[in-house]
Structure 1
Amino acid sequence: MIKVDNLKKQFGNEEILKGITTTFEKGKTNLIIGQSGSGKSVMLKCLIGLFKPEQGRIYYDDNAIQDMDEEQQRVLREEIGMLFQGGALFDSMTIEDNVMFPLRMFTKQKRAEMLERVNEVLNRVELDGVNKKYPAEISGGMQKRVSIARAIVNKPKYLFCDEPNSGLDPKTATVIDNLIQRITHENDITTIVVTHDMNSVMEIGERINFLKNGVLVWKGTQEDIFKTDNKDVTDFVYSSDLFKKIRDVQNKTN
């Protein structure tokens, strides 16, 4: 579980996050959604320690980052898996070496042990036999699955996904969403997904946090989001042509 208490972040005189308080539950896919510029990515970078907030506290299982010494922070980094928006694979490395990279950084395992774990996670994301290929030799959807394999190779307690469906077609995006959710449930991970994709909300939005202009204006489940009368949320949901059609059908039915 990750808890955020009164989180504030600004750059110069511009306040980006304006006192956010929320909880991200263990074993659930927790989403941060909102329009571009709402503060989603800044919040994510605060959570993983890339940005230092001006105010507020971030707790990992009741341990505040702000109170951790250097060794405790190092241990925490080992417990975090990160799926970057663009995948962030190393083009000059094979798939095998890309996935093995965190093991080389954070463990002292022998190569045979690391290779066994690499093959295990590649199998988990249904990519057997691609070890010696390079990222340019596989599709975008396969690259994203390699990125997921790399993110979970160290058996993280916390998984962060920044726009995991960016650049993917709808069918492949659904595959990635469902894979993230299955891995979350199977391994009881605290997973946080930053997205503006309503399809992701419908696929895996077990706990949803909606940001607007740096403020947490709504939170709930994927079932709740279609029942709310919060105008900011409904404007966001029905900005998609698909969901406008769903609403029109629902109105005609009623």
Structure 2
Amino acid sequence: MIEVKDLHKSFGDVEVLKGITTTFDKGKTNLIIGQSGSGKTVFLKCLLGLFNYEQGSICYDGKVFTDLTEDAKRNLRSEIGMVFQGSALFDSMTIAENVMFPLRMFTKQSKTEMQDRVDFVLKRVNLDDAHNKMPSEASGGMQKRVAIARAIVNKPKYLFCDEPNSGLDPKTSIVIDNLIKEITEEYQITTVINSHDMNSVMEIGEKIVFLKDGFKEWEGSKDTIFRTDNEAVTNFVYSSNLFKKVRQMYLEERQ
């Protein structure tokens, strides 16, 4: 579990995060959503320890990040997996070498142990025969699955995903959503996803935090978001006619 209390972050005179308090539960897919400029990317980077903040706290399973020693912070970072928006694979490395990279950085495993682990996670994301391919030989969906394999190779407690469906077609996006959800539940990871994809929200949004102008405007689940009367949420989520119809059907079924 990750607990956030009264988080404030500014750049110069501009306050970007304005007292956010929330929790992200273990074994669940937790989504951060909001319009451009809402603060969701800055929030994610604070959670990752990439940005310092002026006020508040972020607590990882009882450990307050700012109270940790540098060694303890390094240990915590070794427990974090990250799926970047553009996959961020190393072009000069094979897929297997990309996946092995965190093991080389954070562990003292033997080469055989690392190879066994790489074999396991590539199989888990249905890329059994992709070891020797280069990233340039892989489709966008394959690259994203490689990124997920790399993110979980070190058995993380926390998984962060920045727009994991960016640039993917709708069918592949569903595959990636389901894979992230399955892995989250299977390994009981605390997963936090920064997303603008409303299909993801409706498919896997077990906990949704909606930011607006640096504030936490609303939080709930994919079920309660159908019932909310919060105008900012409904304007954002149901901006398309499709989602308006889906919401109306949902409400009519429960009358």
Query: Which residue of structure 1 lines up, in the alignment, with residue 224 of structure 2?
Result: 224
Moved over 4 A (4+): 247-254
State how far apart, in whole Å, the 2-side matches of 1:25 and 1:129 are. Answer: 34
- Report if the CA contact (8 A) 2:5-2:22 is conserved: yes
State how far apart, in whole Å, the 2-side matches of 1:145 and 1:223 are. Answer: 28
Q: Which runs of 5+ in 1 are unaligned?
A: none
- Report if the CA contact (8 A) 2:78-2:106 is conserved: yes
State how far apart, in whole Å, the 1-side matches of 2:108 and 2:187 are. Answer: 23
Q: Summarize deviations over 1:188-208 as a string: whole Å, max 9, x none.
A: 000000101110001110011
- Report if the CA contact (8 A) 2:208-2:219 is conserved: yes
State how far apart, in whole Å, the 1-side matches of 2:219 and 2:155 are. Answer: 28
- C-alpha displacement of 1:32: 0.5
State how far apart, in whole Å, the 2-side matches of 1:39 and 1:209 are. Answer: 12
- C-alpha displacement of 1:241: 3.4
Query: Which residue of structure 1 lines up, in the alignment, with residue 199 of structure 2?
Result: 199
Residues 1-254 of structure 1: pairs in structure 2 closer than 5 A: 1-247=1-247
Deviates more, 1:226-235 or 1:240-249: 240-249
State how far apart, in whole Å, the 2-side matches of 1:15 and 1:39 are. Answer: 10
Q: Summarize deviations over 1:135-162 as a string: whole Å, max 9, x none.
A: 1101000000000000000000000000
Give the 3 Å change call, closer, same or farther, for CA 252–226 of structure 1 in structure 2: closer
Give the 3 Å change call, closer, same or farther, for CA 250–71 of structure 1 in structure 2: closer
TM-score of the aligned structures, taking structure 1 as reference length: 0.97
TM-score of the aligned structures, taking structure 2 as reference length: 0.97
- C-alpha displacement of 1:247: 4.2
- Report if the CA contact (8 A) 2:226-2:247 is conserved: no
- C-alpha displacement of 1:228: 0.4
AA aligned opposite 2:107: T
- C-alpha displacement of 1:249: 5.2
- Report if the CA contact (8 A) 2:27-2:184 is conserved: yes
State how far apart, in whole Å, the 1-side matches of 2:5 and 2:251 are. Answer: 39
- C-alpha displacement of 1:8: 0.4
State how far apart, in whole Å, the 2-side matches of 1:65 and 1:132 are. Answer: 38
- Report if the CA contact (8 A) 2:228-2:234 is conserved: yes
State how far apart, in whole Å, the 1-side matches of 2:46 and 2:74 are. Answer: 16
State how far apart, in whole Å, the 2-side matches of 1:248 and 1:43 are. Answer: 32
- Report if the CA contact (8 A) 2:34-2:196 is conserved: yes
Q: Summarize deviations over 1:5-46 as a string: whole Å, max 9, x none.
A: 000001111110000000000111111111111111100000
State how far apart, in whole Å, the 1-side matches of 2:135 and 2:35 are. Answer: 30
AA aligned opposite 1:16: V
Give the 3 Å change call, closer, same or farther, for CA 26–247 of structure 1 in structure 2: closer
Q: Which runs of 5+ in 2 are unaligned?
A: none
SS of residue matched to 1:100: helix
State how far apart, in whole Å, the 1-side matches of 2:250 and 2:150 are. Answer: 42
Give the 3 Å change call, closer, same or farther, for CA 119–248 of structure 1 in structure 2: same
- C-alpha displacement of 1:242: 2.0
